[in-house]
Amino acid sequence: MSHAAYYPPSGIYSDSYKKDMRIIKTRTQWVLSIASLVFLFALPYIPFVNSPYLLRLYIGVGITVIICLGLNILTGCCGQLNIGQSAFVMVGAFTSGLLNSHMGWPFWACVIPAGLASAFVGIIFGIPSVRLKGLYLALTTLGAQIILTWIALFGMPETAAGFSVAPIKLWNIVFDTPKKFFYVGMLFTVLMTFFAKNLMRTRPGRAFIAIRDNDRAAEAMGIDIFRYKLLAFSICTFYAGVAGSLLVHYMMWAQLESFTLQESIWYLVMIIVGGLGSIEGTIFGVIFITCLKELIFVVGPMAEGHLRFLPIGAGSGLLLVLIGGMAILFLIYEPRGLAHRWSLVKAYYRLWPFGY
C-alpha cells in the first residue's frame, strides 16, 4: 500500500476513459464505501443505536430515500415537477398488497409488478409533459394525486378500509421485526441508489439533464424529448412503486390514509433541502428532514406542556412551520441544497492544508 493512499490527492486525475467512468475513484472512497456497508450490516447489533424505534426510523429513511431518488431523477435531473409522488407510491403499495392478500403472491413476486404498475400509471400521467411545463405540469401531477386517491377511495372498498398484508419471507426467515426487515430495506435502498447513480452517467441520464437545462436545445441536438420525458416519469414512478411495495410488506397493512398530498409535498421538500439533481443530496435531505421531524416530536409536546398559553396542538404544528420555513430558507440561501455543502466539505478535505 503506497503512502499516498493515506493522504488523498488534492485532485483526481483519470488517464483512461474507463477510470474516468468509475463511481468509486480513490482508495479512500473504496475504504469508506466498504466501511459504510459493514456499518450498515452491523447497525442492528450496535448497542444504544439499535432500539426498535431507531431501527424503524432507519427503515423509514431507507424507503423514503427510494421514493425521493425517483422524484429527484424526474424533478431534479429531468426538470419535470411532480407533486403527486405519494399517489404513485400508493399504486405500488396497493398492487403489491392486493396481489399478496388476494392471490397469495409472496413479496418477491409482487415487488416488480408493483413497480411496473406504478410506472404504467406514471407514464399515463406523464404524457401531458410533452406539451406542458412548470406549474402547468405540476397541476397534472396534482391531478394524479386526486384522481388516484379517489379511485382508491371509491373504486375498491378494501383500499379505503385497509387490509392486512403478509410480511416478507425468504425460505424460513420471516422479516416481521424491524431488526430483520432492516436488511431487506437497506438492500433495496443500496441497490436502487446505485442504479440511480449509474443512471446519471448513461445516455438517458445525460439526456435528462439536457432536457432540464434547455429542452429546445436538447431537441435540436437530436434528443427525443417525448421518449426521454416519459422514461423519466416511468423511472420515477417505478421507484415509487417499489417503495410502496416495501412499505406495505413492512407495515403488514395497506390503507389509503398513508398516501396523502402532504406526503408528496414532504418528498419535494426533502429533495429541495438535499439538493435537486443530486443522489447524495437526496439521502442528506431525507435524513435531515427525518431528524428534524423527530426532534420536533420531542420538543413540540414539551413546549406545549410548559408554555400553557399555547393552544392545543401548537407544539406539533410547529413541525409544519419549521419545515416549511426551512424549505424557503434553503431556496433563498442554499438553492443547491445540502449536497452543495457536502461538496464544499469534500473540496476542503482534498485541498487541505492548502485550502483558501
Q: Residue 208 is inside which H or E element, if any?
A: helix 203-213
Near another protein by CB under 8 A: residue from 49, 320, 329, 344: 320
50 binds another protein (CB under 8 A): no
Near another protein by CB under 8 A: residue from 169, 253, 342, 343: 253
344 binds another protein (CB under 8 A): no
Near another protein by CB under 8 A: residue from 40, 106, 113, 158: 158
154 binds another protein (CB under 8 A): yes
For 10-35, b where at least 16 C-beta lie within 10 A, e where not — what string?
Answer: eeeeeeeeeeeeeeeeeebeeeeeee
Sign of CA dihedral 249, 251, 253, 255: negative
User: Shortest approach of another protein to residue 13 CB, angstroms?
Assistant: 45
CA Rg value for the chain: 21
DSSP letter for each residue of 99-155: HHHHH---HHHHHHHHHHHHHHHHHHHHGGGGT--HHHHHHHHHHHHHHHHHIIIII
Pick between residue 15 and residue 257 the one whose CB is nearest to another protein: 257
How many residues touch another protein (CB under 8 A)? 43
Amino acid identity of 47? P
CA distances from 8 to 2, 12, 17, 259 (A): 11, 9, 21, 45
Pick between residue 58 and residue 125 the one whose CB is nearest to another protein: 58
What's the gap between Cα 272 and its chain centre?
12
| CB atoms inside a 10 Å sphere around CB 331 | 12
DSSP letter for each residue of 227-270: HHHHHHHHHHHHHHHHHHHHHHHHHTEE-GGGS-HHHHHHHHHH
51 binds another protein (CB under 8 A): yes
Q: Which stretch binds another protein (CB under 8 A): 2-10, 111-119, 126-134, 296-304?
A: 296-304
Pick between residue 1 and residue 103 the one whose CB is nearest to another protein: 103
Pick between residue 10 and residue 51 the one whose CB is nearest to another protein: 51
Q: Which stretch binds another protein (CB under 8 A): 120-128, 200-208, 212-220, 244-252?
A: 244-252
Alpha carbon distance 315, 158 (integer Å): 34
Site string for another protein, 256-295 (x = CB under 8 A): xxx-x-xx--------------------------------
Q: Quick one: cell of 129?
A: 409533459
Q: Which stretch binds another protein (CB under 8 A): 39-47, 123-131, 203-211, 246-254?
A: 246-254
Pick between residue 29 and residue 258 the one whose CB is nearest to another protein: 258
User: Shortest approach of another protein to residue 224 CB, angstroms?
Assistant: 38
Residue 169, strand partner residues: 174
Site for another protein in 197-236 (CB under 8 A): none
Pick between residue 79 and residue 300 the one whose CB is nearest to another protein: 300
Q: Specify whether the CB–CB gap between 267 and 86 falls below 8 A.
A: yes
188 binds another protein (CB under 8 A): no
Binding site for another protein (CB under 8 A): 51-53, 55-57, 60, 63, 101, 150, 153-154, 157-158, 160-164, 178, 247, 250-253, 255-258, 260, 262-263, 297, 300-301, 311-313, 315-317, 319-320
